[in-house]
Every structure is written in C-alpha cells, then in structure tokens.
Chain A
Amino acid sequence: MIGALAILLGLQLVGEVAVQLSGVPIPGPVVGMVLLFLALRWRGALPDTLRATAETLLSHLSLLFIPAGVGIVQHGARLAEEWLAMTVALVLSTLITVAVTALVMKALIRRRDGERRDG
C-alpha cells in the first residue's frame, strides 16, 4: 500500500513539476494520471497492490470534497445577496450539461451502429 501511495504521489509530483516548467495550463494531477495510464499500458499489467490502493481511494472519493465544501461558511454575505442567480445557474447548468453530453454521445453511437448495419 505504501509502495502504491509512493507511485501515486510520485507521479503527481512529476506532473506538478512538468506543469511548472512548461507553463501549460493543465493541472499537475491530471498530467500524473496520463503518465500512470501510459506506464500501465507500456507495462501491460496492473500490480494488485496499486489496484487495491486506488480502489480504496476512489471508493471514498466523495469524502475528499468535504473540506473544500465546508468553505461555504466563508461566503455567507455573497450567498445571501446572489443565492438565486447562483442556485438557478448551478442546478440548470448541471442538468443541461448532463443531458447535452449524453444525447450527443447517444446520437453518435446510434449513427455509427446504423452505418455498420448498412455497410
């Protein structure tokens, strides 16, 4: 487990350094994710310990958002003033985004499947 954590943190570190050096506006952990993916593809196998550690971390992903979410206590004044705009924008925009993404993908998949049947 410690070895797996070292791999995850090490790749995040490499990602952060790469971003700092290149100035590309990509978050360091995302670069780390790409690197880990490439390493796994290159190696062609996934070590059990890494898999177990990652699954533990990902099964409690929602826990990791709590500290930032509690930050809502700092924004009482702004929320009191603009709660309507923020709430409507958040809720509607999130629902529209889910719908647009899913419908676009569904339409493309259906079109491709149709072409395959025709050809």
Chain B
Amino acid sequence: MDRIFSGIWVYLAGSPLLWLTVTLAVYLAGQWLFRRSGGRALFNPVALAITLLVLLLLLSGTSYATYFSGAQFIHFLLGPATVALAIPLYLHWERVRWLFLPIVVGLLAGSLTAILSAMSLAWLLGGSPRTLLSLAPKSVTTPVAMGIAEKIGGLPSLTAVLVILTGVVGAVAAPALLGWLQIRDDAVKGFAIGVAAHGIGTARAFQISSLAGAFAGLAIGLNALLTALLVPLIVRLLHLAV
C-alpha cells in the first residue's frame, strides 16, 4: 500500500497538475473562510491561501521551484488581467476626466510617498541596502515591481513577496483608515487603495463598488508607469549601491 502511495506521490510531484490544482483549491477555501467570517478584513483570502500553501510546502518538503512549475499558469494571468484593467477605465472614463487634476497630483504625491517612506523607514530600522532596494517598488503590481527591483539591484523574488504583503496590508487596513479620514468619494477611496496596494487592494476596492474598483485599476496602471520612472532616478540620487 505504502509503495502505491509513494509511487503516486512521485508521479504527481513531478507534474504541474498537483500544485496548480492545490493553489485553486486553497484559494477557494480562503474565499469560503472569508465569507464565513462575515467578510472580516483580517481573514484576507490571499493571506489565508499563502499561509496554507507555505505550510503544505514545508510539510511535504516541496521546493518553491517545484511549486511554481505548477502555479506559474496562474501567475501568468497577471499579464492579461493588467490589460483587462482598460475595461473598467473605459466604463468610468467620464468620471476620470472630471477628476483629471486630482488624479495627477494625487498619483505624484502617493507614488513618491510610497517609495520614500518605505525606503527611509527600513533604513532607520537598520535594513540592509539590498532590502531597501527590494522595498522601493513595493506598491506596484508584481511583474512590474520585479522588473524594477532587478534593474536597480534588488532581489526580484523578495520584492514579489513584499509587494504581496503590501497588498494584503492595504486590503485589510485601507478601508477603515479611509473611513477614519472621512473620505466618502468612492473614486478617491479606490484610487488611494490602488496607488498604495495595487491589485490586491483593487480586489478589495471592487467590493466597495465598481467605481472604486475602476479607480483602483486606473491607479495600478498609472503608478506602475510612474514608479518605473521614479525608482531608478531616486536610487541614483541617493547613490545607493549594493
């Protein structure tokens, strides 16, 4: 019996099917838990799913490379999903045009704040240069942030993790913070969440309203552009080198 099981395990461990399926199943379980908890922000489905998967990998002794050979098919969809953000933008274009100046100035302020505050806080607390460089693009969507980190000498795989943790923090805490700041306009809420917490924040913004989601989506695209230009410039100005 044991031989049969280990035979099946050896077969499955070598095929992308297993971890692709497990990722989908764990995501669905995370969503179920999130709904069961009454949509409580602390039960963020992404954080739940990542925690569960990390435990599964450690318990089964599976390497990240093996895991990713299956999960890459999900990761790949980030590209077309980014392109698809054009659609909420198209649907809410009138509102975007109406808010053109607040969007441009809010984006500049938010993007600079994200980069500089992350780097300076980590520096104050004794973060190593490589960690600072990996943190700099943390507020933009994963593939873009990884590209920026690679260019400036950070660790792309660490950046990916920091980006996702940022997204989770934003999704969990931003709605309460915005309520406390008495922000009532869904467009402003969505845009602020999107600038700070990219796609995971955007998933949360779509739960506030379709308008908030559209503005968060707009913010992802714009902040990706601006951060890609700003981070290399800031790093050069600060003479940061690894």
Contact = CB atoms under 8 A, between A and B. Distances in A.
B95 to A, nearest CB: 12
A92 B89 CA distance: 29
A70 B71 contact: yes
Contact of B91 (A30, A46, A70): A46
A57 B81 contact: yes
A53 to B, nearest CB: 7
B82 interface: yes
Would you call the interface of chain B mostly helix, strand, loop, or mixed?
A: helix
Contacts of A109: 99, 102, 185, 188
A75 B193 contact: no
Contacts of B101: 108, 112
Would you call the interface of chain A mostly helix, strand, loop, or mixed?
A: helix
Contact of A98 (B26, B80, B178): B178
B197 A62 contact: no
B153 interface: no
14 contacts: A26-B224, A58-B81, A58-B85, A64-B78, A65-B199, A68-B163, A73-B58, A75-B157, A75-B161, A85-B127, A100-B109, A101-B195, A109-B102, A112-B102
Interface of B: 23-24, 26-27, 45-46, 49-50, 53-54, 57-58, 64, 67-68, 71-72, 74-75, 77-91, 93, 99, 101-103, 105-107, 109-110, 113-114, 117-119, 121-122, 125-128, 131, 135, 138-139, 142-144, 146-148, 151, 155, 157-158, 160-167, 169-171, 173-174, 177-178, 181, 183, 185, 188-189, 191-193, 195-197, 199-200, 202-203, 206, 213, 217, 221, 224-225, 228-229, 232
Contact of A108 (B50, B89, B106): B106
Given A37-B90, A64-B77, 15 more contacts: A12-B80, A25-B229, A32-B79, A36-B86, A36-B87, A61-B203, A62-B171, A64-B199, A67-B74, A69-B165, A93-B118, A93-B166, A101-B110, A102-B189, A102-B191
